[in-house]
């Protein structure tokens, strides 16, 4: 298998007059969670369908585990797993029966299918629920069972298309832990999501997708540095002292401080986070400026996405192009 588990170059896909992918490029190294982040309609699911051989591309090329998805689709399918937005499980069967059924569908013998089901039930912490019907499963348990089913053949690459949509926080955490365990065992995961905290929690690298093409690519911390790195925030007790506090913050800031009069707050990006916090706190005390709160805050992926695209992940407004150093 090459260094890149997934490689896409200039992929184009049209549905009638609508272009879903417009020069989509992606390179996913082996053995990591790679996040594909974007709003509804950005092209995430279309990209996954092409890379998993479910939909043919109209232009460009793509490889998964070094195999061309257009000309060697059958071999690609033997090396990948896919968990879509909706669990592909039989409601009538128990968890154990579902996994055995999937094993048989993947052409495992009866004995091997049963053995593989037991291995996956243990790996995904579903042994106690193995003989329960799916109606007794929580949302997180269903998702974990769906992940287990996608791992029947121990794939090199696992595609997760918005795997935690509709789950409560506990269910999301259960899925996240399962994904981390898979990567620790050597599986490469391509994760599509519109949840910024999910990408931040799981992904070692993120591509921001908007209107069918990647507009930014890099580790989460690298993307966050695009909007100025760490920020110092000060909330003053007396709004009348806000301008004086802003002057103090300006001495250590790497850009002009911004103030919020309604919240009595001033904030600004800083290069040396600890030194800046220490100096500002000491100077405010020496100047007799009382504060309600003072601290350092890292940018969020939501702020990065807003800066790059001009809209939040739930919006579908036209993007603003931005230069990005990945």
DSSP output for 30-88 = TTSEEEEE--TTSSHHHHHHHHTTSS--SEEEEEETTEETTT-HHHHHTTEEEE-SS--
Q: Is the pLDDT of residue 76 over 60?
A: yes
pLDDT of residue 324: 41
pLDDT band at 320 (very low <50, low <70, confident <90, very high): very low
pLDDT band at 195 (very low <50, low <70, confident <90, very high): confident
Q: Is the pLDDT of residue 310 over 70?
A: no
Is 315 inside any structural domain?
A: no
> 213 and 159 in one domain?
yes
> 142 and 83 in one domain?
yes
Percentage of the chain beyond pLDDT 70 is 93
pLDDT band at 319 (very low <50, low <70, confident <90, very high): very low
Is 94 inside any structural domain?
A: yes
CB contact set of 5 (below 8 Å; sequence gap of 6+):
28, 29, 30, 31, 64, 65, 156, 157, 188
> 157 and 69 in one domain?
yes
Task: Name the CA dihedral angle for 321, 161, 63, 77, rounded to a multiple of 10 degrees.
Answer: -170
pLDDT band at 172 (very low <50, low <70, confident <90, very high): confident
pLDDT of residue 170: 82
Between these two residues, 304 and 99, which has the higher pLDDT value? 99
Is 256 inside any structural domain?
A: yes
Question: What pTM did the predictor assign?
Answer: 0.75
Is 245 inside any structural domain?
A: yes
**Measured distance CA(99)–CA(80) in Å, rounded:** 17
CA distances in angstroms from 33 to 4, 11, 109, listed in the order given? 12, 21, 31
């Amino acid at each position: 298998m090459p260094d890149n588990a997934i490689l896409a170059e200039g992929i184009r896909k049209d549905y009638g007059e609508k272009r879903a992918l417009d020069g989509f490029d992606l390179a996913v190294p082996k053995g990591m969670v790679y996040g594909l982040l974007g709003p509804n309609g950005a092209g995430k699911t279309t990209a996954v369908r092409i890379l998993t051989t479910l939909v043919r591309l109209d232009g460009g090329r793509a490889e998964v585990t070094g195999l061309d998805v257009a000309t060697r689709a059958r071999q690609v399918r033997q090396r990948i797993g896919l968990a879509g937005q909706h669990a592909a499980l039989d409601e009538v069967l128990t968890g154990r029966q579902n996994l055995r059924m999937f094993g048989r569908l993947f052409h495992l013998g009866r004995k091997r299918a049963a053995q593989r089901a037991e291995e996956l039930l243990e790996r995904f912490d579903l042994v106690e629920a193995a003989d329960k019907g799916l109606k007794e499963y929580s949302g997180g348990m269903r998702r974990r069972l769906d992940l287990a089913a996608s791992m029947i053949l121990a794939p090199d690459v696992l595609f997760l298309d918005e795997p935690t949509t509709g789950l409560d926080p506990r269910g999301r955490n259960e899925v996240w832990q399962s994904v981390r365990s898979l990567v620790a065992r050597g599986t490469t995961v391509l994760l599509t999501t519109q949840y910024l905290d999910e990408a931040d929690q799981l992904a070692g690298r993120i591509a921001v997708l908007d209107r069918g093409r990647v507009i930014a690519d890099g580790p989460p911390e690298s993307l966050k540095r695009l909007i100025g790195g760490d920020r110092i925030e000060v909330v003053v007790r007396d709004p009348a002292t806000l301008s004086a506090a802003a002057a103090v913050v300006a001495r250590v800031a790497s850009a002009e401080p911004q103030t919020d009069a309604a919240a009595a707050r001033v904030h600004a990006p800083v290069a040396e986070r600890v030194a800046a916090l220490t100096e500002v706190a000491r100077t405010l005390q020496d100047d007799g400026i009382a504060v309600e709160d003072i601290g350092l805050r890292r940018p969020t992926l939501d702020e990065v996405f807003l800066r790059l695209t001009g809209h939040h992940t739930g919006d579908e407004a036209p993007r603003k192009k931005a230069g990005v150093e990945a």
